[in-house]
A and B are shown apart, each in its own frame.
Chain A
Amino acid sequence: MSGHDEQEHHIVSPKVYLAIFAALLVLTALTVAASFVEMGIFNPIVALAIAVVKATLVVLFFMHVKYSTKLTKLTVGAGLFTFIVLVGMTLSDYITRAWGRW
Chain B
Amino acid sequence: MSDSPVMTQGVMEAAKHAHPPYQRHHFESVAQQADATNFAMWIFLLTEIMFFGGLFTAYLILRNWYYPAFVAASHQLNIGWGTGNTAVLISSSFTMAMGVWCAETRRKSGLVLSLVLTFLLGLVFLGIKTIEYSEKIEKHHVPGFHYSVQSFVNPASDPDSVAYGDKPLAMDMARKTELYFFLYFAMTGMHALHMIIGIAILGYMIFRARAGAYTNGHVTFVENFGLYWHFVDIIWIFLFPLLYLISRHQ
Name A's B-contacting residues (CB within 8 A).
1-2, 4-7, 9, 11-14, 17-18, 20-21, 24-25, 28, 31-32, 34-36, 38-40, 43-44, 47-48, 50-51, 54-55, 58-59, 61-64, 68-69, 71-72, 75-76, 78-79, 82-83, 86-87, 90-91, 94, 99-100, 102
B158 CB-CB contact with A under 8 Å: no
The 4 closest A-B pairs by CB, nearest first: A47-B241, A79-B46, A35-B245, A5-B29
Which B residues between 1 and 17 are near A, CB-CB below 8 angstroms?
15-16
Q: Are B50 and A25 in contact (CB under 8 A)?
A: no
A11–B227 CA distance with the chains assembled, in angstroms: 15
- Cβ contacts under 8 Å, B42 to chain A: 72, 75-76, 79
- Cβ contacts under 8 Å, B105 to chain A: 11
Q: Are B64 and A62 in contact (CB under 8 A)?
A: no
- Cβ contacts under 8 Å, B91 to chain A: 21
Overall SS of chain B's interface: helix
- A94-B98 contact, Cβ under 8 Å, with A5-B29, A58-B230, A82-B50: no
22 contacts between A and B (CB under 8 A): A1-B15, A4-B29, A5-B32, A12-B97, A14-B98, A17-B101, A31-B240, A35-B249, A39-B249, A44-B246, A47-B241, A48-B242, A48-B246, A51-B240, A55-B237, A75-B42, A75-B46, A76-B42, A79-B49, A83-B50, A87-B53, A100-B64
A16–B65 CA distance with the chains assembled, in angstroms: 43
B57 vs chain A, min Cβ distance (A): 5
A43–B248 CA distance with the chains assembled, in angstroms: 9
Q: Residue of B at shortest CB range from A32?
A: B83
B66 vs chain A, min Cβ distance (A): 7
B56 CB-CB contact with A under 8 Å: yes
Q: Are A59 and B39 in contact (CB under 8 A)?
A: no
B221 CB-CB contact with A under 8 Å: no
A34 vs chain B, min Cβ distance (A): 8
B190 CB-CB contact with A under 8 Å: no
